Structure 1
Amino acid sequence: MKKTFDLVFFLLLFALVTACSPTKFATEMAIDALTGAGSSTAFTGESDPELAAQSLPFALKMYEALLVDHPDHPALLSAAGEGFVSYANAFCQLPASMESSWEKQRHMLQRAASLYLRGRDYALRALETRHDGCIRLLNEKRYDEALENCSKEDVSDLYWAAAGWFGAISAEGFNMRRMAEAPTAYALLVRALSLDEGFNYGALHELAIAVLPALPEAMRYRPNVAPADDPVRTWEADYYHGLGIDPISDPYRAAYHHFERSLKLGEEGLVSPFVAYAEAVCVPQQDYEGFRAMLEKGLAVDMETRPDSRLVNTLQAEKARWLLAHAEDFFVVIPDEQSEE
């Protein structure tokens, strides 16, 4: 992997030194190196978050530089979408959630929202290369026409577009314009679940854990559309069919289903499902015992079970420890553990 990034660095350095655009051959080599199988593992498998935070922006700007001359390259667009959404989450919104200064937190969340939306747009452009008119149809909320012909090949871009959209909605808080876009983000998530619920070791399920308890019915579906005419409700019903779960009337039960699926698909090697459930379910229900149990189980995860996820596991473990140390900020009543003993 190091040789791959050394090669890319050399090619770009050569282009800069000679003050001209990279040759077609060199550019294609750089694109192949950046988008090839396993290319992202250099970051996701990193155990030093600071090193990843310092080096990832270089890769992101490299994607954008290459996209200037290759604006419709599907793999580049997909890589840029994944990269910007991942960076916004790991190095903007996550640290913002643990920031004590309101001013610093506000700045970090504004930056997160901007980067989330940039990643979302790249992922949507990647979808557009395979489904002409997709972006326009989504903007018009014509979800059936926009997404009906999607396949497993599209699930990655559906996921990163949905994750970026929901990330921006979360980071921007009470932005009514952004909140009004939630049904489109939800349509992307549900369509992806209906196509490949096992994508990326349960990533769709982790997103569902965070989304379902927080998203009321009015923000899931288009207004003034009969349920029988809504493709999102159809895809949703197809997914939950036979599970005995109504994600509208019992979002917490639905979230627990997604929690269990994420654990299984992630081979119990990820910290993030435990943190997501603790925040999205235990806090709203004021279940401190469940909150503590979830986070302690997350911290007990063997990081080497999934070496390709060292970075996210390291970051999520830090968040779990912070949540345990600041539980009084989230719960009205915390049992006196010493008196219970």
Structure 2
Amino acid sequence: MLAGVILAAPIFSGCSTDRLVARGASPLIERGVSAMNRETDTELARASIPATLKMLETLLLLDPGNVAYRTQAAMGFHGYALGFVEPTDPERARDLYRRARDHALVALEDAGVSRSTLNGDVATLERALAKLDARALPALFWTASAWGKWIELQLDDPARLAELPRVEALMGRVLALDESYYYGGAHLFFGAYYGGRAPMFGGDFARAARHFDRAAELNRNQLLWVDVYRARYLLRQAGERDAFHAALSRVVVAPDGADPELNLANALARQAAAALLAREEELF
């Protein structure tokens, strides 16, 4: 054992002790994320997730360039904001989405998209994105997801609206690389993107419907958020109240699916569906 440690020493001589400690926690973090995804008690999840997020940020203080931790932090802050904060405190959710985006941007820069490229003209950005392969999918997806939600909560700010083409370009690259990534999440994004606006403002209801249908097909109708987003963005905007009611009613009574990794996401989707149904009269 001692010999093994001595022989290993030159291999790790370029790594700081802090980074070694942080990276040693990786299996625990990965299993913790899986355990949280499998949780069915939303109140237990609500109470537990903040500690997990702070643990991730503590590890990132030790190892700031750890791309896996950056994407896990982005995913965690995005999910926490969406499932637990936005329904009652949109202003705080906005700040959490920005925090998620900032973590994801570090991973995106590591993948080869610099901040200057991201903030430059869209054509240059698209050329840079075209060079990325599937290894960049987590950084692309979570940057676009968090950035999109951050903008959604600031639609009265022209500066934020001007950023939408960049978000669209990022998620478009996800779609091109692997449309099935994260349960067809890029299709879910574009369903909301085209369904949540009137046609005169760039909305396209038929296109949105195709994206929602494809997302459902890719995840075999196991992700309940597809119907929640379809109702919240497309059916509400299109004034289809009966379809809105039917879609959300299906979600509320839907049983647990075959994929335990979707337990928490689907439990939160049921809550979101119930909340939208309670506002149906107001929304229509």
Give the TM interval when normalised to the shorter protein: 0.7 to 0.9
Alignment pair present for 1:116 and 2:69: no
Distance 1:149 1:215 in 2: 31
Unaligned runs of at least 5 residues, structure 1: 1-20, 97-107, 220-247, 332-341
Alignment pair present for 1:188 and 2:170: yes
Cα deviations by residue, 1:252-287 (Å, 9 ceiling, x for unpaired)? 111111111111122212211111111111111111
Cα deviations by residue, 1:105-132 (Å, 9 ceiling, x for unpaired)? xxx211111111111111121121121x
Once the two structures are TM-superposed, the CA of residue 300 in structure 1 deviates from its matched residue by 3.9
Q: Which residue of 2 aligns with 1:137?
A: 117
Q: 1:153 aligns with which of 121, 129, 135?
A: 135
Distance 1:83 1:313 in 2: 16
Cα deviations by residue, 1:224-254 (Å, 9 ceiling, x for unpaired)? xxxxxxxxxxxxxxxxxxxxxxxx6x71111
Q: Which residue of 1 aligns with 2:218?
A: 265
Q: 1:83 aligns with which of 76, 98, 105?
A: 76
Q: Secondary structure at the match of 1:174?
A: coil
TM-score (norm. length: structure 2): 0.87
- AA in 1 matched with 2:281: E
Distance 1:285 1:218 in 2: 13
The answer to whether the Cα contact below 8 Å between 2:19 and 2:62 also exists between their aligned partners in 1 is no
Distance 1:60 1:120 in 2: 14
The answer to whether the Cα contact below 8 Å between 1:169 and 1:178 also exists between their aligned partners in 2 is yes
Distance 2:23 2:280 in 1: 50
Cα deviations by residue, 1:66-95 (Å, 9 ceiling, x for unpaired)? 1122111111111111111111111111x2
- Quote the RMSD (CA, aligned, Å): 2.2
The answer to whether the Cα contact below 8 Å between 2:198 and 2:237 also exists between their aligned partners in 1 is no
Distance 2:205 2:200 in 1: 17
Equivalent runs, 1:199-210 vs 2, <5 Å: 199-210=181-192
- AA in 2 matched with 1:113: R
- AA in 1 matched with 2:49: L
Distance 1:206 1:145 in 2: 24
The answer to whether the Cα contact below 8 Å between 1:134 and 1:147 also exists between their aligned partners in 2 is no
Distance 1:287 1:217 in 2: 15
Cα deviations by residue, 1:182-213 (Å, 9 ceiling, x for unpaired)? 11111111111111100111111111111112
Unaligned runs of at least 5 residues, structure 2: 1-15
Q: 1:43 aligns with which of 36, 41, 53?
A: 36
Distance 1:117 1:217 in 2: 28
- AA in 2 matched with 1:295: L
Distance 1:218 1:178 in 2: 19
Q: Secondary structure at the match of 1:118?
A: helix
- AA in 1 matched with 2:173: R
Q: 1:92 aligns with which of 65, 85, 91?
A: 85
TM-score (norm. length: structure 1): 0.73
Distance 2:18 2:274 in 1: 49
Distance 2:180 2:95 in 1: 29
Aligned pair count reads: 267
Distance 1:214 1:23 in 2: 45
The answer to whether the Cα contact below 8 Å between 1:158 and 1:188 also exists between their aligned partners in 2 is yes
